[in-house]
């Protein structure tokens, strides 16, 4: 289970070697290497204005998300405080009823 699994060796043919025979070299014919296909997609080029717009947009997104998260946290805190106040008031009312 914990023994390493080694991949199978490449099955590519070995590189071509020229054989020297009585002073004259006999070249071995090699097939050309495959060429990567050319992408038809246009490249994105950033100018100074577009970079500034990206930085400004990113900053705006961070500020908006931060404001939303802070307001949610504040809403939870206010709700918790109001529940605590209601609990104290109800406890006070119930204690007064018991004492009478």
pLDDT in tens, the chain (100 residues): 788 877 777 776 666 666 666 655 556 667 777 777 777 777 778 899 999 999 999 999 999 999 999 999 999 999 999 999 999 999 999 998 888 7
Residue 31's pLDDT is what? 73
Query: Using CA atoms, how far apart are residues 59 and 53, in angstroms rounded to an integer?
Result: 10
Residue 85's pLDDT is what? 97
Residue 90's pLDDT is what? 95
Residue 43's pLDDT is what? 78
Tell me the whole-structure pTM to 2 decimals.
0.47
| Alpha carbon separation from 25 to 17, 19, 22 (Å, rounded) | 10, 6, 8
């Amino acid at each position: 289970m914990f023994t390493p699994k080694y991949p199978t060796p490449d099955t590519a043919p070995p590189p071509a070697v020229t054989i020297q025979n009585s002073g004259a070299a006999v070249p071995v014919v090699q097939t050309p290497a495959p060429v990567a296909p050319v992408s038809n997609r246009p490249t994105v080029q950033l100018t100074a204005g577009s970079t500034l717009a990206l930085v400004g947009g990113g900053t705006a997104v961070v500020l908006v998300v931060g404001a939303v998260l802070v307001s949610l946290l504040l809403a939870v805190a206010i709700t918790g405080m109001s529940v605590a106040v209601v609990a104290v008031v109800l406890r006070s009312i119930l204690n007064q009823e018991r004492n009478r």
